[in-house]
Structure formats: structure tokens, C-alpha cells
Amino acid sequence: MTAEIFSLFEGRLTSYSPSYLSCYPFYEHLIFSVDCFGTPEAQKSICHNFFDLITTMKLLITTFCAFFLCVALNAQDLLYVKADAAGNGTSWQDATDLQTALKIAAPGSHIWVATGTYLPTDDSDRNATFRINKEIKIYGGFIGNETSLRQRDTRNNKTILSGNIGTADFQDNSYTVVTIEGATDATVLDGFTIKDGNADGSTQPGTAQRGGGAIFNNGAQNGTSNPVIRNCIFVDNTAREGGAIYNCGLRGESSPTIAGCTFKNNAADLDGGAVYNNAANGDSNPKLIDCTFKDNVAGYGAGIYSNTKNGESKIDLNGCIFKDNMAYMWGGGIFGNDKAGFEVALDDCSFAGNYPTDINKEITVGQVNTARSYGAK
């Protein structure tokens, strides 16, 4: 049997007996070689030189491929999303859809989302949600051709996550538009309008079917979920508890940082028109910075409600505004159902036009105020 080998030096195909290849048995599969004719000494010298050449070539090729593999992997750290797109997400021109991006994003990835309206599903499954369960950063506000995060414009390029699935009837909307689980401060949601969630289910408290029309932040049952939510607008969401956001620290911890957000026209049938903190047998200690609560409605705690039964909820408010929120019972601004474990720290916050008007800026804890106020206006 012979082997056909291409001669680098002579540029021709030559047939050799396998015996001529004995000096490089592991490279018989290669199609590059040199003639090994001549004396045995010459054959040995030429073949050894060729062996060195092949070894060097393999090293260069391996290094070259590794480099481009790293480049490809780094490119996957940034995914591009457009409404109704179906690409692989590697560029604006080949953008993918949001659900796909959330599934394929590796921890540490960034997702840039172009202006448009995004639904959790194209059918009528009310349990469908945008699920965020890893350390990724998701940014809205792009027109769809930016090369830098600084170029986005969240004011003019509205990026909407909507629960308005099914028919135009609000009753069949998604229970919760976004579900966040097991998050750290390396998990960021920034620059979105989240609307039309309707968590009106009859399930047990502490479930996404009845809590958090916009976001259900789940750190329950020995879990932890402490994401960063920035520059978002929460509007027209409803739920049994937590019209916009439900922080579930039930026997766990759910303590997000929420900054630069607006909560407007959200409603809860029961408690927490905008935000509900479930700290029962656990912890829910949210920090809110430069947020506005306006025109939210609930039975208790139209702005924020905390359940601190056998748990702890310490709310840190800095530069926040509570205006024209209405509670049918108590806590036009903020309400805690048990003064044990409940505390509110206020710094440069203002309260106006909230109903009912309770002592110390509409903060009521079991009808007994225990808030600490630092520079409240």
C-alpha cells in the first residue's frame, strides 16, 4: 500500500511506501511532506527537519485557533436583541429575540435591547415570563446601531416589557412580566418600561401568580435574590400583593437595590400598591434611591408594604418622592404589618397628597409610627 504525499519543496504529489514514513508515524494523516529519497542518512536528516517543521506549524495553528476561539467567546459576552429578530445575537444586524438571549447568555454577559415592545410569549400562557436567573446585565434604550452603552437614550428609545398577551382584555395578561431568581448585585436590569402584568391568581401568598405584576423577585426558601434595578418605569401593573414588585424573602432573602425608578398607577387588591416586601421568617431589606411613587393604590401600603412576621424588613429610602398614593385602610406611603423587625430610614424624601394622612409623613406601622427620619422634607 502506498501513501500520496504533497511535496512542499517540489510542489507535486508523490507515491511513497509507508516505510518511507517511519520517521514520523504520527503524521501519516498530514497531506504535507518532503521527498525522503537519497541515502538513509539524508532521509533521516530531511525527515527530522520536516518533523520539526510540522511541530512548529501545529503549534502556530493551535495558537491561532485558540486566539480566534477566545475572540468568539468574548463576542458572546455581548448579545444584541431586537423585537421579532431571529438571529444568533452576535450583532445588531444578526440580533436575536429577548427570550433566546436570556437563555443563552453566560454569567457575566451583557444584553443590549433595542427599542420596541417585548412580550413573554406569543401565545396565551399566563405563566410565561422573562426569567433572569444568573449574573447578567440587561440594558434597554437602544435604537439598534450603537457601539457604546453611553450612546443609548432611554428617554426617547422606549424599551417596553409588556404582559399584554392573549386578547386585548387585561384579564388574560401575564401573571408577572419578569421573574428574577437567585440574583446578586451583578444582576442588573436597566432602562425598561415594565407594564401590564396582572398577578391576580388564587394561589398561596409568595407565588408569582398572585404577587408582583411587573417583577417577582424570588429569594424564598433559603435562597437569596438581591438584584440591581435601575432607570425603569413601572406602570399599569396589578396584583393581589405588590402591584409592581414582589420581593419574596419568605424563609430566605430578597433585598434589591432600586434606583432612578418610577412607580405610577400600579394597584394591589390587598397590600403593596407598588412594592411588597415579604420578610416572613426571612429578610427583605430593599434600598431605594431617587425613586418616585405616584398614583398607586392598595388596601394597605399604597407605596410600599412590608410583611415582617418573624422576619426583618429594613427599608432604606434616599431621595424618594411619595405623591398622591391612596391606601383604603392605612399607609398611603408605607405600611408595615408588625413593628417588630420593621424599620424605615429616610434621607431627603418627600411625601405629599397621600391618603390616609398618617403621622410622620404617611408612614404607619400597625397604626404606630416607628420610622427613623433623616432629613425628610
Write out pLDDT tens, residues 291-346: 999 999 999 999 999 999 999 999 999 999 999 999 998 888 999 888 788 899 99
Residue 254 has which C-alpha cell? 430578597
| CA–CA dist 72, 63 (Å, integer) | 14
Q: What are the residue ranges spanned by the domains of the chain? A: 3-72, 79-374
Q: Is the preceding omega at residue 256 within 30 degrees of 0, hence cis?
A: no
Instruction: Indicate the DSSP class of residue 174.
Output: -
Residue-wise pLDDT for 334-371, tens only, equals 998 887 888 999 999 989 899 886 433 445 544 434 45
State residue 8's pLDDT score.
Answer: 33
The highest-level CATH class for domain 79-374 is: mainly beta
Q: Across the chain, which distance is largest between two alpha carbons, in Å?
A: 106
In the sheet that holds 238-241, the strands lie side by side as 198-199, 238-241, 267-271, 297-300, 326-330
State residue 283's pLDDT score.
Answer: 97
Say if residue 31's pLDDT is above 80. Answer: no
| CA–CA dist 212, 219 (Å, integer) | 14
Residue-wise pLDDT for 206-243, tens only, equals 999 999 999 999 999 999 999 999 999 999 999 999 99
Element at 75 (helix H, strand E)? helix 40-75
| CA–CA dist 254, 145 (Å, integer) | 36
Overall pTM > 0.85 = no
Instruction: Indicate the DSSP class of residue 96.
Output: B
43 CB-contact burial (10 Å; exposed 0-12 / middle 13-18 / buried 19+) = middle
Count Cβ atoms below 10 Å from residue 31 Cβ, excluding itself: 9
Q: How far is CA 45 from CA 34, 48, 111, 252, in A?
A: 11, 5, 57, 72
Tell me what the mean pLDDT of segment 188-193 comes to: 98
Residues in the chain: 377
Q: Can you tell me which residue has the cell 387585561? A: 170
Residue whose C-alpha is closest to residue 254's, from 293, 292, 285: 285
Say if residue 71's pLDDT is above 60. Answer: no
Element at 132 (helix H, strand E)? strand 130-132
* % of the chain residues with pLDDT over 70: 74
State residue 331's pLDDT score.
Answer: 87
Tell me what the mean pLDDT of segment 254-262 comes to: 98
